[in-house]
Amino acid sequence: MVQGSGATHHSCGPLRDNLGHRGAATALLRAPHLVGLTLTCLALLAVRAVPAGALPAGTRIETSDDGKIVQIPGEPLPQPGAKLPVPKVKRTAADKPIATKAPEAAKPVAGPREVETIAQPAVEFGGGYIVLPDSVLRLIATARNPGKGQRDQHPTLQGLVIEGGYRMPVSPRSWIVVRGGLILPMVPDQNWWAAKGSPAPLYTAISVVGIDITADYLRRFEVNAVLGVLLRGGLGLQVVAGGATQTETLPNCAASKAATCATWRTLGKTEVWLPPVLPALRATAGLDLRLSKELALQVEGGLRSAPYLGGGFAYSF
């Protein structure tokens, strides 16, 4: 070991010269402060033992001043615009994309169902016009007296109808209606005679009132918030109250003036048989116009034991 100015330098020469001496080497290795020096010297000896040229030389790369062209000396530059070859890659089963099921579109969630409120109870009042066609009357007369002449000349059988009812709701747009009505005939007292002269004329006076008691099914079909279509059908009974009389006229009395023969005003008067109860049939259609939540106007037409046209109003509560 050689000491210099303020520094300590280690020399591998004395260590190398003493390696041949077994005892000295053993003494050196036993000294802890000389173990690092020994390893350093062995590494330097190993590097010097590698012959020159055994290590590979580095690759030289040249670049242009602007840094856009990079070239290895001795290799040609690529042509401008030349495409580099695309390497062929063999795809394996592991590289194949996994087919995934397309997500299903979200189904719309149905909102809370609107609950229709049941129709409201109501009362109804109305009136109308009813007429019995002559053809129907002839059929009735022919059925009673087949093959005989008929008094086909007579006033029109017509009347007024006044009715009222109570509606009991059974669904949001339908009701059962319990209804009662009056039929008031408007037939003047007059001679009924045959156009062929036979049979003889009869002076006929009618004092009859019909009373209807029926149960109807009423259905309303909404057109819009204000207008609706009404369909009604019902069955019931019609009570005939009152009666009719017929008086024979003198042969020398004109048919149209037979009632003016004073002696025959009461003589020969006979009661006309009328059935006490008749079936009542109702089949009508109409329009319903709502004026407010409670009040509605209606117009109906159809069959009410006879052809019928009428109207009225209904009040809900």
Successive 10-residue mean pLDDT values, the chain, 317 residues = 41 48 49 58 58 59 70 67 62 62 65 63 96 85 80 90 96 95 92 80 88 96 95 96 83 58 62 91 96 95 94 95
Model pLDDT, residue 283: 96
Distance, in Å, from the CA atom of 60 to the CA atom of 36, rounded to the nearest integer, reads 38
**3-class DSSP state of 270:** strand
> Closest by alpha carbon to 119, among 197, 228, 8, 235?
228
Distance, in Å, from the CA atom of 287 to the CA atom of 221, rounded to the nearest integer, reads 9
Model pLDDT, residue 276: 93
Model pLDDT, residue 11: 47
Model pLDDT, residue 93: 60
Model pLDDT, residue 255: 56
- pLDDT tens digits, 105-135: 666 665 555 445 678 999 999 999 999 888 8
* Backbone angles phi and psi of 289, in degrees to 5: -115, 115
The answer to whether residues 265 and 250 touch, using CB atoms and an 8 Å cutoff, is no
Residue 4 CB partners (closer than 8 Å, separation 6+)? none
Domain 122-316 has CATH 2.40.160.20: yes
Output the CA torsion 19→24→30→35 (10° steps).
Answer: -30
Model pLDDT, residue 38: 62
Distance, in Å, from the CA atom of 37 to the CA atom of 144, rounded to the nearest integer, reads 154
> Closest by alpha carbon to 218, among 317, 302, 128, 132?
302
Q: At what angle do helices 22-30 and 35-48 cross, to 10 degrees?
A: 120
The answer to whether residues 228 and 174 touch, using CB atoms and an 8 Å cutoff, is no
- pLDDT tens digits, 193-249: 888 877 877 888 899 999 999 999 999 999 998 999 999 999 999 999 999 988 877
CB atoms inside a 10 Å sphere around CB 83: 7
Model pLDDT, residue 10: 45
Which regions of the chain carry the CATH code 2.40.160.20? 122-316
